[in-house]
Amino acid sequence: MQESFDLLAALRKLGYLQTTRDPLWWPASGTFEVVVGAILTQQSRWEKVEASLSALRKANLLTLEALSSADTQHIASLIKPSGFYHTKSQRLISLSQNILKDFGSFEIFSREVDRTWLLAQKGIGMESADSILCYACHRPVLAVDSYTQRLLDALGYTFETYMELQEWMQEGIETNFDKVKRLYGEEADIATVYARFHGKIVEYSKKHIRGRKVDVLPLLEAWEEKI
């Protein structure tokens, strides 16, 4: 494999994405729920996040306005399955308040927010910021994570920083976008491709990474079939 397009093509050949939960892979894409999920999923398994989101939803607290005026201890009790619930409760409430203060609504936030604003918020790092931009705001940004890094390490690619890894991943798609459209057989926009590409990597990694072992043989075999 020479570039990220090769990885995308191999993952597609192997049948990823395998979930149909959302067209963009992340559940409830395009909504405020993604923002909440991006905070809750830090150092937590998604199954635990879903339990927390469900509790917030049942309590009618999974909206920007409701969360901004919620009680910290109450939110902490509802998101307990996600871990670090006191810290995450404070950060969710503070983030909601800042969104309302600086943008007035989630709709305006999703149109106007940028990475600089997100990174200035306590508790939001690059991966969380890019996940929000990609899945909540439908921006042409590819979120990369530890799964991406470990997969590429196993394929012989090493990057020193998040930005280097992301740049390499995005460049391989952008320079081959005509091939990407032929691969999908449709006029897919790059934001959608990035969203689904990240989902493919996560799904593959959860199935083929066990401890320190990263099984990339299925990927190599798929690519060798000259997709």
Give the CATH number, domain containing residue 164. Answer: 1.10.1670.10
Q: 216 with 151: CB under 8 angstroms?
A: yes
The whole-chain average pLDDT of the chain stands at 95
Q: 127 with 143: CB under 8 angstroms?
A: yes
Structure confidence at residue 99 (pLDDT): 98
Structure confidence at residue 184 (pLDDT): 83
Structural domain harbouring 42: 32-136
Structure confidence at residue 226 (pLDDT): 59
40, 131: one domain: yes
Q: Give the whole-angstrom CA distance, residue 139 versus residue 131.
A: 10
Q: 59 with 227: CB under 8 angstroms?
A: no
49, 115: one domain: yes
| End-of-domain residue from the set 89, 117, 136 | 136
Q: Read off the tokens for 72.
A: 């910290």
Return the axis-axis angle of helices 162-174 and 4-13, rounded to nearest 10°.
70
pLDDT at residue 186 above 80?
Answer: no
Q: 93 with 68: CB under 8 angstroms?
A: yes
Structure confidence at residue 102 (pLDDT): 98
In total, how many domains does the chain have?
Answer: 2
pLDDT per residue over 44-102, tens digit each? 999 999 999 999 999 999 999 999 999 999 999 999 999 999 999 999 999 999 999 99
Give DSSP secondary structure letters for 76-91: HHHSGGGS-HHHHHHH
pLDDT at residue 115 above 80?
Answer: yes
Percent of the chain's residues with pLDDT above 70: 99
pLDDT at residue 179 above 60?
Answer: yes
Q: Any idea what DSSP says for residue 135?
A: I
Give DSSP secondary structure letters for 13-61: HTT-----S-TTSSTTTTSHHHHHHHHHTTTS-HHHHHHHHHHHHHTT-
The sign of the dihedral angle between the CA atoms of 135, 140, 145, 149 is positive
114, 181: one domain: no
Structure confidence at residue 21 (pLDDT): 86
| End-of-domain residue from the set 94, 111, 136 | 136
pTM for the structure as a whole: 0.95
